[in-house]
Amino acid sequence: MPDPSAPASPSTSPLVVAIDDGYASYDQEEALLGAVGARFALRPVHGDADAAVQAVRDATVVLVRESPLPRRAIEAMARGRAVVRYGIGVDNIDQQAARERRIFVANVPDYGIDEVSSQAVALLLALNRRLLLHDGEVRAGRWSAGVLQPMFRLRGRALGLVGYGRIARMTHAKLAGFGFGRVLVHDPRAALPPGAESVDLDTLCRQADVISLHAPLNEATRRMIDARRLALMQPHALLVNTARGGLVDLDALHAALAAGRLGGAGLDVFDPEPPDPLHPLFALTNIVVTNHIGWYSEEAMRDLQRKAAEEVVRVLGGEPPRHWLNPW
């Protein structure tokens, strides 16, 4: 039986290569691509950029999750027509190199919206009600009605949303029933609903009691929540990040939480991933952390794989992808 991880023999039929594994099945990709005469190959590189260069050399289209596709990998795609990200963020793909070679870069921004917004709400509520702290007390046999850490009512307070795309809008909708008195949004390009206030990021950091991050990661947003902006936040404020780990300076966040200058943080994403388990942040009791699982439900995973494969089919049919990110 041929090794599916080995480069395919030369052929006139398009080759679609997935350089990250992890899904239980690739039946949707195989069916959709097979229907248009394309071959599908799974060649996991496990985050190794050098391995990615080798894996994509004969690919017409590359499907990628977290592994990097730097310039040298893009330039190795002698037959390359597109790179499609299984997901939303594309900070692991050199879009400029792809543009120079007229290789489409596309993502799937319209999956997992319900799931990630629910994760943001779940992290916020776990922080606000100190669920993990009290769970640990009960499990340890300690039963007390005394105050372990202060809790504050959400009603009447200010919600801050950094970015106002699909996920932020659904997060806003899900939190509407909690009775926030103000909704502050930092997203200069977004059209806001009635009642939401457009503010700059420093103002949002100063005035919001709850801050939820929904911005993409790029050079303008990297470490946007740094020591200076953390110092602007109120000492009871809660910070939630379900977007990209690189938006937050983790060391500065630890310093603020450890000093009591911030009420708590809920994190589903880190930079790097996985994070160092010995980072002092993880010794704190005013955090809730999850392992970049906010995107997941069985339905969302199937949606993601199908929509990524549909983008590939569009490109192979001579169309631009629906979610084309590096236009020329």
Q: Residue 75 belongs to a domain with what CATH number?
A: 3.40.50.720
Q: Write down the H helix ranges in 20-94.
A: 27-34, 49-55, 71-76
Contact predicate 268/244, CB 8 Å:
no
For residue 5, being part of any structural domain is answered with no
Domain co-membership, 70 together with 141: no
For residue 102, being part of any structural domain is answered with yes
- What pLDDT sits at residue 146? 81
Active site residue 75: no
Contact predicate 244/218, CB 8 Å:
no
Domain co-membership, 175 together with 195: yes
Domain co-membership, 85 together with 131: no
- What pLDDT sits at residue 240? 99
Domain co-membership, 167 together with 93: no
Residues 6+ apart with CB under 8 A from 65: 20, 22, 85, 86, 87
Confidence (pTM): 0.89
For residue 3, being part of any structural domain is answered with no
Active site residue 236: no
Closest CA to 106 of 125, 82, 123: 82
Contact predicate 158/210, CB 8 Å:
yes
For 161-213, the pLDDT digits (tens) are 999 999 999 999 999 999 999 999 999 999 999 999 999 999 999 999 999 99
Active site residue 244: yes
Q: How many domains does the chain have?
A: 2
Domain co-membership, 144 together with 262: yes
Range of the domain at 193: 113-289
Domain co-membership, 276 together with 209: yes
Domain co-membership, 101 together with 122: no
Domain co-membership, 242 together with 129: yes
Domain co-membership, 134 together with 219: yes
Q: At what angle do helices 27-34 and 298-316 cross, to 10 degrees?
A: 20
Domain co-membership, 139 together with 235: yes
- What pLDDT sits at residue 2? 39
Which residues of the chain fall short of a pLDDT of 50?
1-10
- What pLDDT sits at residue 12? 83
- What pLDDT sits at residue 1? 39
For residue 8, being part of any structural domain is answered with no
Domain co-membership, 183 together with 303: no
Catalytic residue among 244, 254, 314, 323: 244
For residue 170, being part of any structural domain is answered with yes
Catalytic residue among 101, 292, 302, 306: 292
Closest CA to 315 of 26, 69, 323: 323
Domain co-membership, 176 together with 69: no
Torsion of CA 70, 51, 14, 7, to 10 degrees: 160
For 218-238, the pLDDT digits (tens) are 999 999 999 999 999 999 999
Catalytic residue among 71, 142, 273, 319: 273
